[in-house]
Amino acid sequence: MDGYGLAWLAAGIGCGITVLGVGNGIGRLAAAALEAGARQPEAAGDVRTTMIIGAALIEGVALFALVVCIFLALKG
């Protein structure tokens, strides 16, 4: 396995780990928001807005990791 192969392998594995982390994060966020909305339906609107902002920020971190993966993959 040469350097290019290692880079592609790293990109693939890194991509998978990123998705694991961000899936876990956004999943927990959505679960908490749903619980909050079920408990206090009148606050559901505010909770949804805050949830979307939080999800977007988590997604932002995931995108940084994916950019690193893309750079690794483009090395080949």
CB atoms within 10 A of CB 3: 9
Q: Any contact of residue 17 with another protein (CB under 8 A)?
A: no
The alpha helices in 1-76, defined as continuous H runs, are 3-39, 44-74
Residue in the structure block whose two tokens are 């592609």: 8
Which of 19, 49, 71, 74 touches another protein by CB under 8 A? 49
Annotate each residue in 50-69 with x if it binds another protein (CB under 8 A) or - if it does not, as one string.
--xx--xx-xxx-xx-xx--
Residues that bind another protein (CB under 8 A): 45, 49, 52-53, 56-57, 59-61, 63-64, 66-67
